[in-house]
Every structure is written in C-alpha cells, then in structure tokens.
Amino acid sequence: MKVNQAEFVISAVGPGQYPQDALPEIALAGRSNVGKSSLINRMIARKNLARTSSQPGKTQTLNYYRINADLYFVDLPGYGYAKVSKSERERWGKFIESYLLNREPLHLVLLLVDLRHPPTKDDQAMYDWLAHHDIPLCVVATKADKLSRSQLPKHAKIVRETLGMPKGQPLILFSSEAGLGKEELWALIEQASGLAQADTAEEETAAAAAEEPASREPS
C-alpha cells in the first residue's frame, strides 16, 4: 500500500462525530501502552501523527486517521489502565463495545498484544468477546524488536496458545521501532477493506486491454 496522504480527522466522543463517508475502518484495540498509536505511525511512515506517550491511558477518544481516500485507522482507547476509576472504565467499555458491535464501516479489528509477555486476562477477554461476536480480527504482537530473533517463535506460540487461536488464523509479529511486519499487515488490511480486490480487478482489466489479440482487429 502506498500511503500518499495521511491525516488526523477527529477525536470522536460519540457516534454523532463518526465520519459519514462510509470508508472502511480498521480499529486498533489493546491494552494501554501496547503500541497502538505507534503502530499507526509506522504503517503510515509518520513520526508522530498518532500521538504516543510513555504515560499509559492517554488516548481516551476514538481517534480517526484517514489514509489516502481509502480507509480510516481508528485508534481506540486502551483498556486495562488501573488508574482510571471503575465508573469511567465502565463508561468507556460501553462506548467501545457499542462502536465495535454497531459500526457498519468497521472491516477489521487489530488486537494488539505485547509479544514479550503472555496475553493478559484483559487481552483474553477482548479476544473472546470479538470472536464471540464474529467481529473480523487480526492479532498483532508488538514490540518484537525487544526480543532476539531466536526468541520470536517461542513467544508467538505462547500468544497463540494463551488466546486459543485457531491454526490458520494469522498472528503478525510487529515492531514499530524496526518496521517488522509492516508489509504483511498492509496486505491483510488491504484484503479486509476490499482494496486488494479493487487493485487486482483494475490490473486484470488493464492486462486484458493490453492483451487485445491482433485477431480482434477488423479485417
């Protein structure tokens, strides 16, 4: 995917503020501090368009980023941040839940987990909830650069087993620092948003046109 243009659109606090143009939406879910905003920045090759912070719990709204005229990344508030009050947590839980269940342009949820550690109880609950509601999801294991290459398979296996991922389901090992997994993730996103087919269809039409056989020329 070639990113020609990426821009922040809105920090939405409710459905009234969601974009109306029905572009496919790719949402990022995961614990506070797992690397959601950093992943967006890496995918679009921008240092700090999506605001990152060493202070967890910073993102408290649905932050929309438009990529070309193709799709939106929707940066969701992180869960599992202990310093947020219980009532606030519940309010945000309902807000996100209703977005994930009812948002029509939502094509894919990227569930981010930290590759260094086994998925937490919150990660497991989120995974089960998404799977239970048949919401298309892809697990992305972040901060892979903090492990050595030889450690990756073992950690990937722990993520798969702890979440109970079915065999064929993709698990993307990702690093916002090093760029690992970027192309693989773009391919998946393009497929989920119907962009891959559009490209292929266009290419096929172009190829067919180029191959117009000489025999078709008027004799």
> Site residues (CB under 5 A) for Mg ion?
36-37, 59
Of residues 5, 17, 53, 205, which one binds ligand GTP by CB under 6 A?
53
Helix H segments across 35-151? 36-43, 86-102, 121-132
- Contact residue for ligand GTP among 176, 181, 193, 195 (CB under 6 A): 176
Judge residue 90's burial from the number of C-beta atoms within 10 Å of its C-beta, 0-12 exposed, 13-18 middle, 19 or more buried: exposed
- Out of 66, 107, 143, 182, point to the residue binding ligand GTP (CB under 6 A): 143
Cα–Cα dist 120/114, whole Å: 9
Tokens of 188: 């998946």
| Cβ-based neighbours of 124, under 8 Å, separated by 6 or more | 162, 163
Residue 193 in contact with ligand GTP, rule: CB under 6 A: no
- Per rule CB under 6 A, is residue 48 in the interface with ligand GTP? no
Would strands 71-75 and 62-67 be described as parallel, antiparallel, or unpaired? antiparallel
Binding residue for ligand GTP (CB under 6 A) from 44, 95, 119, 142? Answer: 142
On whether the CB atoms of residues 32 and 79 are closer than 8 A, the answer is: yes
Minimum distance from CB of 40 to ligand GTP (Å)?
Answer: 8
Closest CB 78 distance from Mg ion, rounded Å: 6
Q: Which is nearer to ligand GTP, 4 or 150 (CB)?
A: 150
Write out the residues near ligand GTP by the rule CB under 6 A. 30, 32-38, 52-54, 56-59, 78, 142-143, 145-146, 175-177
